[in-house]
Amino acid sequence: MNGPDDDAPPEHWRYARHLEALAVAPDRGAEAEVEEVAAVLRDPDRVMAESAVVTHLDRRAVQLLADEEFPAWAGGMAAALAGRPFPERRLREWSLLKAVTRDDPWSAEELTAASDWCQRTAVRLLTSYEALSLLATAARTRRVRNAAADRLRRRTAV
């Protein structure tokens, strides 16, 4: 997907181009990353642009989950995402996962009200006994409840 001469629809090559630009933006600094996110969100195809940004958020948040830079990064991203409900929610959910990871304040209500995506991601990434126990009993889907219970069993078996 190199450009408009491909047989792919234009939004496909723009999506790929946006992901490439977003991937290298952090190398240029936090401000450049925020500016690149804002630029992508100006694409006329709102759904495609938000999808590219959420993919970027997911990639960066995983990299920064154990990093002290996460709060500053999330603050910059929040400003760029203002008024975009789907990316804003994803960033809030990554911030929730970060709070659980760092043992910062978080609430059971937040985690049980989180999206299925967030709950699945929590089971995959988190080691918090409290969070996994909560998800094993109160997650929205049986899939997440079972996965959390399995993580707890494996944790106690070690």
pLDDT given at position 158? 61
Model confidence, pTM: 0.90
Q: Which residues does 6 contact at the CB level (< 8 Å), separation at least 6?
A: 12, 13
Distance CA 18, CA 23 (A): 8
Q: What is the pLDDT of residues 65-83, one digit of tens each?
A: 999 999 999 999 999 999 9
Nearest to 132 by CA among 142, 117, 122, 140: 122
pLDDT given at position 74? 97
Which regions in the chain score pLDDT beneath 50?
1-2
Q: Among the residues of 8-83, which ranges form H helices?
A: 10-24, 30-41, 46-64, 70-81
Distance CA 151, CA 133 (A): 9
Query: Are the C-beta atoms of residues 67 and 39 closer than 8 Å to each other?
Result: no
Distance CA 63, CA 59 (A): 7
CA angle 66, 69, 71 (to 5 degrees): 95
Output DSSP code: residue 119: H
The alpha carbon of residue 13 and the mean position of all alpha carbons in its chain are separated, in whole angstroms, by 23
pLDDT given at position 1? 44
